[in-house]
Structure 1
């Protein structure tokens, strides 16, 4: 003769079918937590000595201080950015700038090689002749919305007037 156990469901679950009620009761059993781990240690002389050495002798503080002292003598991992610049990759393509001589005069000699080589036609140069026969720029514009940062203008410039 088989023994059947019947249980009474809470009010909210009485309208459920027996299969639904069984799945809910299984979920309730599955969701119980079981604590796994080491049992609590008994107070022994060794754990008492560990507590005393950690508390009175401050070994953790000494270890942290030793780590700090070790880092003082190493090379810093950061730089003082606005005043120091890090190394740039040769593949770096940044915004172009027109260089000047220390006197303040632009280096550009208005040869228009950069304007001719620019694939995006982002460079516009206007120049006028000087009294000594050389040409100097009156207007030098790089339209940065058109620029594709290819660097051809920098490579084409014979006087290194354009830098990235």
Structure 2
């Protein structure tokens, strides 16, 4: 089992996922840990295997990359595992992994839709109220996404 600890951002996850893909590490062999999340009790950290010589080419469609980045904003414990599983399947030639009819693709699209809905609600329903305190900003607003 490979434990991968990172700050929980898509920008840091992406190169880690690329390295794992290049090394041929399967999704069930990876545990993604955000920041200071505790490690599993029975898991030992293993070094990444070296990528094959030459490393296999990794081709990801731009649209899928944009969908993965959007789905990464969906807060869930398994979000990084799902994204890596989809990446793994696409790199292995299983293009159906990102389609709505697939179980992983369906979950990906549900998460993208939820994030877009919340972004729309932020733009559409956020209202600013004048602040009455002298030491506070002139206007206050609050939005809590689902």
Superposed pair shares fold, TM > 0.5: no
TM-score by length of 2: 0.16
**Larger radius of gyration between Structure 1 and Structure 2:** 1
TM-score by length of 1: 0.15
